[in-house]
Amino acid sequence: MRNTSPRAFRRGLTPAAIPATIAAIVILFLIVCALIPSVVAPFDPLGVNPSGAFKPPSVEHWFGTDDSGRDIFSRIVYGARDSLTIGISATLIGLLSGMALGAVAGGSRGRALAPLRTVADRVIEGMFAFPGLLLALLLISVRGPGVVSILIAVAISTTPGYARMIRGGIRKSLGSGAVEAARLQGDRAPRIWAKLVLPESLRPVLVLATLGVGEAVVMAAALGFLGMGMPPPAPEWGSMLNAGRSYLVKAWWMTCFPGLVILAVGLSTTILGRAFDGRRRFA
């Protein structure tokens, strides 16, 4: 499947690289939308225009208009900022807490640290047993809906996945010949961790984190869809889907296009994550 000849690599775009290229373009475009929405969007995302409500997709309104006559394309463009911010920061928080938990579980060696290791192992296992979306809903029921609740909820539900992977990586690395050799050379633990253990165990996790951003965006959208995200006028993708539900038959574009964008994000991050994974083996 993978084209491994150096010539093909130099030639640039090989057929195998097309999906990853498209995925990168999609993500870059959404990042541009998030940074400078006013340049990309043709209309005001909050500009209510009752006479122009429920307009189907046209040259003027690419994705049609919603129940208040707002341009759906513009709302999606403006919504990119919130959705990507939630996706990326939730992934970062989840990654950091997963790293901490995984490092404690994977790095605690010897009899003295055994209880610590056991507790960390059990916490990771226990967290895995909570289905992510349900945990998020538990949190929201106590904290109330809102961006911060969604952020924490998504972060917590991604933590055990990262923790488990880092734990495995650290254990494998600590048992490897390279670490043994460094130890025999007289290198101290902090140096071994910084030079060998951490880089080796973090690399596969970064691939997972790329996938994780897409997943976080989709999960945040699911919560928004249930009406637990940002309050109505905000152009958040999940909330837009939620609003479109009432007009599904009358105005299918209100549901179809925000969902397609969410699908595009999930698909693009998956493809990109795999591409990174492949490149890593390649090098």
Give residues in contact with other proteins (CB under 8 A): 1, 19, 122-123, 125-135, 137-144, 157-161, 164-165, 168, 208, 211, 214-215, 218, 221-222, 225-228, 241, 244-245, 248-249, 252, 255-256, 259, 262-263, 266-267, 270-271
Q: Judge contact between 71 and 43, C-beta under 8 A.
A: yes
Nearer to other proteins, 187 or 204 (CB): 204
Nearest to 132 by CA among 218, 219, 228, 230: 219
Nearer to other proteins among residue 259 and residue 278 (C-beta):
259
Residue with smaller CB distance to other proteins, 42 or 131: 131
Looking at beta carbons only, is 40 or 154 nearer to other proteins?
A: 154
- 8-state DSSP, 59: S
Extract the tokens encoding 7. 């010539």
Q: How far is the CB of 184 from other proteins (least distance, A)?
A: 28
Shortest distance, position 73 Cβ to other proteins, whole Å:
17
Nearer to other proteins, 37 or 224 (CB): 224
Q: How far is the CB of 239 from other proteins (least distance, A)?
A: 12
d(CA 127, CA 131): 8
Least separation in angstroms between residue 190's CB and other proteins is 27
Shortest separation between residue 212's beta carbon and other proteins, angstroms: 8
Burial of residue 137 (CB within 10 Å: 0-12, 13-18, 19+) is: middle
Beta bridge partners, 65, equal 71
**Separation CA 255–CA 76 (nearest Å):** 12
Phi, then psi, of 65 in degrees rounded to 5: -125, 160
- The owner of tokens 């049609």 is 64
Residue closer to other proteins, measured from CB, 38 or 118:
118
User: What number of other Cβ atoms are within 10 A of residue 218's Cβ?
Assistant: 19
CA 122, 129, 94, 282 dihedral sign is positive
Q: Nearest distance from residue 191's CB to other proteins, in Å? A: 28
Task: State the nearest-atom distance from the C-beta of 131 to other proteins, in Å.
Answer: 4
Return the number of the residue (230 or 271) whose C-beta is nearest other proteins.
Answer: 271
Which 8-state DSSP code applies to residue 201? H
Dist CA 18 CA 58 (whole Å): 29
